Amino acid sequence: MSELLFRNLIKTTIEERKLVLSWRNSDRIRLKMRNKDIISIENHLKFIEGLKNRDDCVFWLIYIDKIPIGVASDTDIDKKNKTCSGGMYIGNEEYSGYGIPALYYGFKNNFENNKIKENVYDVLKTNKRVYQMHKRIFHARDKYETDTEWFLYQDTETYQEMKKDLEPKMKSFYDIDKVIWD
């Protein structure tokens, strides 16, 4: 049995923040981001401190059985209209297969606990594999696209389709029996 923990980035230690920055600045992650620049430690720490004064976004350090494996985010949070955007990456390459449960439980938290009605997110067109994963596995639908990005969404209907399909697989494939939001 495994425990999946999402810890708010503002609650992390300096060592954990440095780990997140090392993942974010790695070519494997950085080159799949909108901002492909190397981020300085000063800017990174200032960004995390600034999160304490914001209610439009939250960033999570993801752990599996107390091992940090990646980062998830909820951004563009609109509490009035019950919408948000999101993102996620697995930084610890040994756990690359855990992107699916991290996304699944992130969607579950948004739709069931935060009562989100629509989650819109973008995928760079250079990342076609992730686009196809969202369509096939997470039942995402196309919202619109630009020259460089696809914008996908989930609403309560697509969330229920995804949940019906994925809920049994989370237990059998990943053996996750506990999910904690801290």
User: Could you report the per-residue pLDDT of 80-135, keeping only the tens digit for each?
Assistant: 999 999 999 999 999 998 999 999 999 999 999 999 999 999 999 999 999 999 99
What pLDDT is stored for residue 51 in this prediction? Answer: 98
| One-letter identity of residue 7 | R
- In angstroms, rounded to a whole number, what is the distance separating the alpha carbons of residues 132 and 145? 14
- In angstroms, rounded to a whole number, what is the distance separating the alpha carbons of residues 113 and 109? 5
The 3-state DSSP class for residue 9 equals helix
- In angstroms, rounded to a whole number, what is the distance separating the alpha carbons of residues 115 and 83? 9
Question: Please, are residues 86 and 56 in contact by the beta-carbon 8 Å criterion?
Answer: no
User: Could you report the per-residue pLDDT of 51-86, keeping only the tens digit for each?
Assistant: 999 999 999 999 999 999 999 999 999 999 999 999
Bridge partners (DSSP) of residue 89 are 71
With vertex at residue 140, the alpha carbon angle to CA 56 and CA 157, rounded to the nearest 5 degrees, is 85
Token readout for 40 is: 């300085």
Domain residues for the domain of 41 are: 2-181
| Structural domains of the chain, count | 1
pTM over 0.85: yes
Q: How is residue 35 annotated by DSSP?
A: -
Cβ burial 79-99 (10 Å sphere, 16+ → b, else e)? eeebbbbbbbbbbbeebeebb
Is 14 buried (19+), middle (13-18) or exposed (0-12) by CB count in 10 A?
exposed
Any idea what the CATH number is for the domain that residue 170 is in? 3.40.630.30
User: Could you report the per-residue pLDDT of 129-164, keeping only the tens digit for each?
Assistant: 999 999 999 999 999 999 999 999 999 999 999 999
What pLDDT is stored for residue 173 in this prediction? Answer: 87
Give percent above pLDDT 90 in the chain: 91
